[in-house]
């Protein structure tokens, strides 16, 4: 499939559009263990919040308190009984991973700020209406569900839709573009048969008057 047959005539791959780093790898399931782990942990957190009535702060504090207490008692008892200390892994974030995440967030925030600046100054009316429509849609969805459910659902969408699109992008692009061209043809016919008739009728009325 040629580049002209891609959505938006894009030249880059989905992986490149998403940044091409660790974040893109996770979103496209190229690091399946991390992606599955994120989904499982967030699902467990959602179930706990929904069923137990905990808030995020109280849950995190309780879990950390329990974990620290267990490790502290384990280490003390191990020192007294001459047993090995708790087998803790080295907790370390590489500079490369931090830089990639920071660059990804910076690019998205800068793009958002640029769009917001143009909208605030009235430079892009089309974008204003798009953003207004999105915010209106978000307000409707927010009224139908709570923040946690919305957040988990959004995370599932982010971790599934791009991967599915990358896997079946040839078929999706073909059918979406086919549908778009059909809509264009329908619009042209509607413009010629309906709008054109109304326009001619208005012009005739003006001439008669």
Where are any strands of DSSP class E within 47-190? none
Q: Which two structure tokens, joined as six digits, stand for 78?
A: 């191990």
**Cα atoms in the 13 Å half-sphere on the side-chain side of 191:** 6
pLDDT digits (tens, 9 = 90+) for 63-87: 889 988 998 898 888 888 888 877 7
Confidence check: pLDDT of 4 > 70: no
Q: Rounded to two decimals, what is the model's pTM? A: 0.54
Mean predicted lDDT score pLDDT of the chain: 82
Q: Which two structure tokens, joined as six digits, stand for 207?
A: 């001439």
Confidence check: pLDDT of 9 > 60: yes
Confidence check: pLDDT of 1 > 50: no
Where are any strands of DSSP class E within 19-147? none
């Amino acid at each position: 499939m040629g580049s002209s047959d891609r959505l938006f005539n894009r030249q880059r791959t989905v992986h490149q559009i998403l940044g091409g780093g660790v974040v893109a790898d996770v979103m496209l399931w190229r690091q399946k263990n991390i992606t599955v782990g994120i989904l499982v942990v967030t699902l467990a957190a959602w179930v706990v919040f929904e069923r137990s009535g905990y808030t995020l702060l109280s849950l995190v504090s309780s879990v950390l308190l329990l974990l620290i207490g267990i490790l502290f008692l384990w280490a003390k008892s191990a020192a007294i009984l001459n047993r090995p200390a708790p087998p803790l892994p080295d907790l370390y974030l590489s500079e490369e991973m931090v830089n990639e995440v920071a660059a990804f967030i910076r690019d998205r925030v800068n793009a958002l700020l640029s769009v917001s600046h143009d909208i605030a100054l009235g430079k892009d009316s089309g974008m204003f209406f798009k953003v207004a429509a999105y915010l209106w849609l978000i307000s409707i969805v927010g009224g139908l569900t709570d923040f946690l459910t919305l957040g988990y659902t959004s995370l599932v969408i982010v971790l599934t839709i791009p991967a599915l699109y990358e896997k079946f992008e040839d078929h999706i692009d073909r059918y979406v573009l086919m549908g778009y061209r059909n809509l264009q043809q329908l619009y042209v016919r509607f413009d010629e048969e309906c709008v054109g008739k109304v326009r001619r009728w208005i012009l005739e009325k003006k001439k008669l008057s």
